[in-house]
Structures are given as C-alpha cells and as structure tokens.
Chain A
C-alpha cells in the first residue's frame, strides 16, 4: 500500500512503519512455519489432527475478521455466522454452476460477503451502537431464511458436496484444507496489522472513542466504516469458502451455526479487542480448549463454557487477556 502522502497528515511516523513491517514479516514467517509444522506433526497424528487444526485456524481467521470491525471501530457485528454462510454457499453455488475450483471460490466468496459487508456499512450511516448490532443480527436471519427457501443450493434439507481429488504434494484433502486455512488466517492477521497501524486504524479508533467528535475533527467516518465493514465481511466470507469441502454436507443449521456465531464474538472479546494479537490469542486458546473438550465432553457443554467465559470476561476483565497482560506488566514495573 502506498502511504507516502498520508504519512505527514495522519500521524503514521517512519518508526511506526518500520515496526509494522517487522511485525508483518514475523507473522508471515510464523504462518509459513506453522503450515510446515502442521505437515510434519500431521504425518504422525493422521487426518484427525488436520480436522482439528482446520477448525482452530478458521476461528483465528473469523476472530481477526470480526475484530477489524468490532474491535477497531466499536461496531459490534452479531451476524458473523451470516457472512460465514454466504462464503460457504458461494462455494456451493459456484461448484454447482461451473464446477469451480477452490482457488476461484475463495476470492469469489470473499467478494460476495464483502459486498454484503459494504451494505451493512451504509446501514451504519443511520444506525449507531446497539441498532447496528441488531440490524446485523436481522441480516443473518434474513440470509438464513433466503437459503432455507432456495432449493437449488440445498434449501432446508442441505446438500452433499464431493471433495475433489487430492493432487500435488498433499497426502489428503483435509491436509490441503488445513494448510489453505493456515495461510488464509496468516494473511488475515497481516491485514489486521496493516489496518491497525495505518491511518485506517487510527481513524477507526477515533470513531470508536467518539464518532461525533471524530467527524467534527475531519475524520472521514463513512469511508473508514465502509472499508472496515467490507474488509471484515470479505474475510468472514473467505473463512466460509472451504467449509463445504471440509464437512462435505452443508445445511442451513451447520452454515449458520451457533458455534460460529458465539465463538466469533467471544474469542476477540476474551483475547482483547484493541490489538491484532488479542483475537489470535483468544481464538487459539478457546479453539484448542474446545477441540480438546469436544473429544472428552459433549459439544453443547463446551459452547456453554465459551458463553460463561464471555460473560465473565466482559464483566470482570473488559480488555480481555491482552488487558490482563498489560496490567500485569505495568504492576511489575
């Protein structure tokens, strides 16, 4: 991104830029290392390892996507399952219509979900705070009703999806999906860093603190909000795109699932919403815990735990784990 002309006006200094560059490189390196690690560890533990890693990484992506809007600008999106499902059903539709490969479906899913995100961005013109959140919830239910009544993509009964043949260097299709998800999550985190430390992030933070004051000070609020809602929607759509191939049978209940709706909000809030690493920490921690718990206890019980943790964190530690770590560091100084 060419930022030269904004450098002076928006307070992004050379040091900030250099710091951002280093962070980006480190995340990219970490992502690639993690993909390699997945392959190495997966060799010994088999496909179940990929199945579990895919879900955790999908939540890293979703939590990061949610945070780009919710964390940075303070606009709470309750409809994340809707965006995810849009991505999911874009893949199904393109697969049915043109037999499109995953590499085409992912960007297409992102674009469709991004456009819906853009729409919600325009809604935010008139709706602030709570009303925006309720509108996103409304949007998710409308999308679900649409899908339930659209028999071409399976309707209420759902649809079976055949995985393509595994090709190239991959041992199995789940392995491919896990690595694709790992790379997408890494890219999303880098996007979040770029947004957070550029004029967009600073502008959004100003909106979060006081939208009216920010507008009065000349912050281009509509443009910023549109960027954030579109980007957030795009990333959520991307997260949903490989999902049909992952579970191979999609119905409205699994695409618009409870687990996605609650985790996408709980993970950033528990991790901490102000920085890019809060959602990552939250998603890894909660995601891995849930994977372990699903094996040992029921999946309903582990959603219950997420709900309880969310309520506790919101009530007691509103700045999440990031906030707790910061407080701990400051108290030691």
Chain B
C-alpha cells in the first residue's frame, strides 16, 4: 500500500480523537484501580450498561444521548456509594483482596455481559442521529462528528475529574488515600468516605464512556471485553494513578491503533493495546512518566 502524507495526517488526527475516547474509558480505571486499589476489571461492563441504556433511552423514550449522558453521570454518582459499600462489605473488609477481588469482578463482568446478551441479543446496536453523520473538512483531514463529539465530552469529563481531585478537599483526600490511608485519618478525613466518592466517580465515568462508545460505533454486549486491555494498558502506561498520564497514554494508544489499522490492517488493532500493555508491564511497570 502506498502511504501518503494525507493518509498519515488523517490517521494521526483520528488516533487523537479515538485516544480522547479511550481516556474517558480509562479514567475510571485510573481512579478505581490506580488510586483505590480496587481491581475493577468489570469497568467495561459498566460501560456496556451505559451504552445499552443510551440505546434504550433514544429508541423508546426519544431522549438524546447528550441528555442521557448527564442523567447517567448523576445516576452513577448516586448509586456508586452503595456499590462501594457492597464491595467493601463482601471483599475489601476481609483484607485478602487480590485474588478474591479479581475473581469477584471477573464474575460480575460475565454476569453483566450475559445479562445483556439475554435481554438485547447479540446483534449490533447503533444510534441513528443526523448530527452524528456530519463530517468537518480541515484541509485534507476530515473530522467526523461521530468522533469529535466523544472526544470533546471525554476531555471535559477528564478535566472535571482533574479539577475535582486537585481543587476540592474531598478530591485531595482521594489523592491522599492513594498514598497513605493512615495519614488521611490523621488529618481528620474519613478514608472510607473518600473511597466511596472516588468509586462513584469511577462508575459515573464508566457509564458516560459507554454512551460515548455507542456514539462512535455499533455495540454488542461482548465488545466490552476488548476494553479491559485498552483501559488497563492506558492506566498502566500513564503511571497508574495519574489523570494527565492517563490522557497522554490514551492518545498514544489511539494513534498507535489508527496507524496500525491504516498501515497493516484493522484486524490487528486489538493486539496493539495488549501488546503495549505487555511491553509496558515487562519493561517499564511504572509507566512512561514513572521514575
């Protein structure tokens, strides 16, 4: 295949847009796994729930996904504390988290996936919206709205998470919990509450990321699993507990995937994230920005 500059430019722009979406997926993992040590490999399942709720909302109630997104973020924040309490009571309290926690979330992942298969079937579902099919031309580079909208929403969401974590008291206690739980108690904050808030944020971002996913591409229940690798790859590459690292790593992954897809072939792109993850884990477990 002859590679032109136009093709490269298009692939890179598409990659950055896609990377923005991956950041939305991974930011929840960065918060739950990186900061709270909760190995929520069921995060993509939360995403799939969001995607299918957006589908239902549009097709049965006629609610625009942009509104569904905001509602779901609220719902996520509202039910998050209960989910965290459940997880804490069942698994975290016992102290022996790694194996049991992993198996627990692995089970949840499958329950959600099979539950969705049984309710919606294995057909691909997509949202038919006129504004999604628009394309903006910027010189030789074309930017589809299908990619641009998720990118913008994702950046706003990551920005909000960043602002909350760094500029509010509770947010800062969440960052502190990630480093030293005892020290958080000493300054008079309740680590349990911080963790509960952080977990709720993670759930909310997962639901929103799901809505973004169904804006980008048709969705069926099992594609959630593809995002386990992507989310964890981005999280690890970005240095595990860093929001800015996550966004940067997500862009790198996005560009790597679109370049692979246009230079070698789209069927190879699932291997990119996992390959990147394996390489990072094997050679640089502290991430690209790690010391």
Q: Mark B92-115, 1 if CB is under 8 A from A, else 0.
A: 001010111011101110110111
Binds B, one of A215-223, A226-234, A304-312: A304-312
Q: B residues within 8 A CB of A265?
A: 103, 106
User: When chains A and B are docked, how far (Å) is the Cα of A14 from the Cα of B275?
Assistant: 48
A307 & B232 in contact (Cβ 8 Å cutoff): no
Residue of A nearest to B264 (CB): A149
Chain A nearest Cβ from B99, distance in angstroms: 6
Report if A76 contacts B (CB, 8 A).
Answer: yes
User: When chains A and B are docked, how far (Å) is the Cα of A123 from the Cα of B275?
Assistant: 13
Chain B nearest Cβ from A229, distance in angstroms: 15
A314 & B107 in contact (Cβ 8 Å cutoff): yes
Task: Give the interface centre of B91, B103, B113, B278 by most chain A CB atoms within 10 Å.
Answer: B103
- Count of interface residues, chain A, beta-carbon cutoff 8 Å: 43
B110 & A307 in contact (Cβ 8 Å cutoff): yes
Binds B, one of A92-100, A107-115, A133-141, A190-198: A133-141
Q: A78-B106, A308-B111, A311-B107 are in contact. Are A141 and B271 (CB under 8 A)?
A: yes
B267 & A156 in contact (Cβ 8 Å cutoff): yes
Residue of B nearest to A310 (CB): B107
Q: A145-B268, A318-B100 are in contact. Are A138 and B107 (CB under 8 A)?
A: no
Q: A residues within 8 A CB of B229?
A: 134, 137-138, 141
User: When chains A and B are docked, how far (Å) is the Cα of A3 from the Cα of B94?
Assistant: 38
User: When chains A and B are docked, how far (Å) is the Cα of A18 from the Cα of B232?
Assistant: 47
User: When chains A and B are docked, how far (Å) is the Cα of A129 from the Cα of B37?
Assistant: 12
Q: A residues within 8 A CB of B282?
A: 123, 126-127, 135
Report if A244 contacts B (CB, 8 A).
Answer: no
Task: Give the interface centre of A123, A142, A258 by most chain B CB atoms within 10 Å.
Answer: A142
Residue of A nearest to B91 (CB): A315
Residue of A nearest to B114 (CB): A304
Report if B262 contacts A (CB, 8 A).
Answer: no
User: When chains A and B are docked, how far (Å) is the Cα of A324 from the Cα of B96?
Assistant: 18
Q: Mark B114-128, 1 if CB is under 8 A from A, else 0.
A: 110110000000000
B277 & A134 in contact (Cβ 8 Å cutoff): yes
Q: A residues within 8 A CB of B228?
A: 134, 137
User: When chains A and B are docked, how far (Å) is the Cα of A265 from the Cα of B102?
Assistant: 11
- With beta carbons under 8 angstroms apart, the residue of A76, A127, A137, A266 that contacts B285 is A127
Chain A nearest Cβ from B246, distance in angstroms: 16
Report if B39 contacts A (CB, 8 A).
Answer: yes
A149 & B107 in contact (Cβ 8 Å cutoff): no
B103 & A131 in contact (Cβ 8 Å cutoff): no
B270 & A314 in contact (Cβ 8 Å cutoff): no
Q: A123-B282, A131-B285, A137-B229 are in contact. Are A314 and B268 (CB under 8 A)?
A: no
B114 & A310 in contact (Cβ 8 Å cutoff): no
A318 & B96 in contact (Cβ 8 Å cutoff): yes
Q: A74-B99, A141-B229, A258-B222 are in contact. Are A307 and B281 (CB under 8 A)?
A: no
Chain B nearest Cβ from A261, distance in angstroms: 8
Report if B274 contacts A (CB, 8 A).
Answer: yes
Q: B residues within 8 A CB of A298?
A: 118
Task: Give the interface centre of A127, A149, A315 by most chain B CB atoms within 10 Å.
Answer: A315
Report if B223 contacts A (CB, 8 A).
Answer: no
Q: A residues within 8 A CB of B115?
A: 304
A130 & B222 in contact (Cβ 8 Å cutoff): no
Chain B nearest Cβ from A259, distance in angstroms: 10
A314 & B118 in contact (Cβ 8 Å cutoff): no
Report if A269 contacts B (CB, 8 A).
Answer: yes
Q: A131-B285, A315-B91 are in contact. Are A304 and B118 (CB under 8 A)?
A: yes
Q: B residues within 8 A CB of A318?
A: 94, 96, 100
Q: A76-B102, A138-B274, A307-B107 are in contact. Are A126 and B114 (CB under 8 A)?
A: no
B278 & A310 in contact (Cβ 8 Å cutoff): no
Q: A residues within 8 A CB of B111?
A: 304, 307-308, 311
Residue of A nearest to B117 (CB): A300
Q: Mark B235-266, 1 if CB is under 8 A from A, else 0.
A: 01000000000000000000000000000010
B: which residues have CB within 8 A of A? Answer: 33, 39, 41, 90-91, 94, 96, 98-100, 102-104, 106-108, 110-111, 113-115, 117-118, 222, 226, 228-229, 232-233, 236, 265, 267-268, 270-271, 274-275, 277-278, 281-282, 285
Pick 17 A–B contacts, CB within 8 A, sort by A: A123-B281, A129-B98, A130-B39, A131-B236, A134-B228, A134-B229, A138-B229, A138-B232, A142-B271, A142-B278, A144-B270, A145-B267, A145-B274, A306-B110, A310-B110, A311-B111, A314-B104
Given contacts A130-B33, A142-B271, 20 further A-B contacts (CB under 8 A): A74-B98, A126-B282, A127-B282, A130-B102, A131-B236, A134-B277, A134-B281, A135-B277, A139-B278, A142-B274, A142-B275, A145-B268, A148-B267, A149-B268, A304-B111, A304-B118, A314-B91, A314-B103, A318-B96, A318-B100
